[in-house]
């Protein structure tokens, strides 16, 4: 027997709710940390060092936010933070590479490159966290919803 029409809608609503929560946590944290980044680089701190330093602080705040709000109905395994850390370190590596290439080598403003990094990394970060870090607490639940 096939799925009833309202079941598919319900699954999509769960995905939309989860993605909306992800965006809410992400927008709030990225806004705070981007403003800190702008402030600290304005007073003379080097952009890549500032990005790395703020990354360490944002890493914990983001994990707590997504664990307690975005994916609150998911089981957290003992290895979830390690997986989360790996994904975030990959994002940091991408971000620093982009800053080096586009700001240091090509002369684009580091503020624009950092903001672009945030926008580019958000969708892939959501799906990677959803699939590998925050596991469904219901057996057989599709990891993309």
Q: Which of 80, 102, 100 is nearest to 92 (CA)?
A: 100
- Domain limits, the chain: 17-136
Q: Are 137 and 75 in contact (CB under 8 A)?
A: yes
pLDDT at 26: 87
Phi-psi region of 140 (alpha: psi -120 to 50; beta: other; left: phi over 0): left
Per-residue confidence of the chain (145 residues) as pLDDT tens digits?
A: 455 454 455 666 877 888 888 889 888 998 999 999 999 999 999 999 998 899 888 888 888 888 888 877 565 666 778 888 899 899 989 999 999 999 999 999 999 998 999 889 988 888 888 788 876 543 444 444 4
Phi-psi region of 40 (alpha: psi -120 to 50; beta: other; left: phi over 0): alpha
């Amino acid at each position: 027997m096939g799925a009833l029409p309202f079941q598919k809608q319900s699954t999509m609503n769960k995905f939309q709710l989860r993605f909306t929560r992800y965006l809410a946590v992400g927008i709030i944290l990225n806004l705070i940390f981007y403003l800190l980044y702008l402030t600290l680089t304005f007073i003379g701190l080097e952009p890549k060092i500032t990005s790395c330093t703020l990354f360490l602080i944002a890493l914990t705040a983001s994990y707590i936010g997504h664990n307690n709000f975005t994916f609150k109905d998911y089981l957290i395994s003992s290895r979830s933070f390690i997986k989360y850390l790996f994904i975030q370190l990959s994002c940091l590596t991408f971000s620093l590479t982009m800053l080096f290439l586009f700001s240091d080598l090509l002369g684009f403003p580091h503020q624009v490159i950092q903001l672009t990094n945030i926008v580019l990394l958000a969708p892939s970060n959501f799906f990677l966290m959803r699939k590998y870090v925050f596991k469904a607490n219901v057996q057989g639940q599709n990891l993309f919803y």
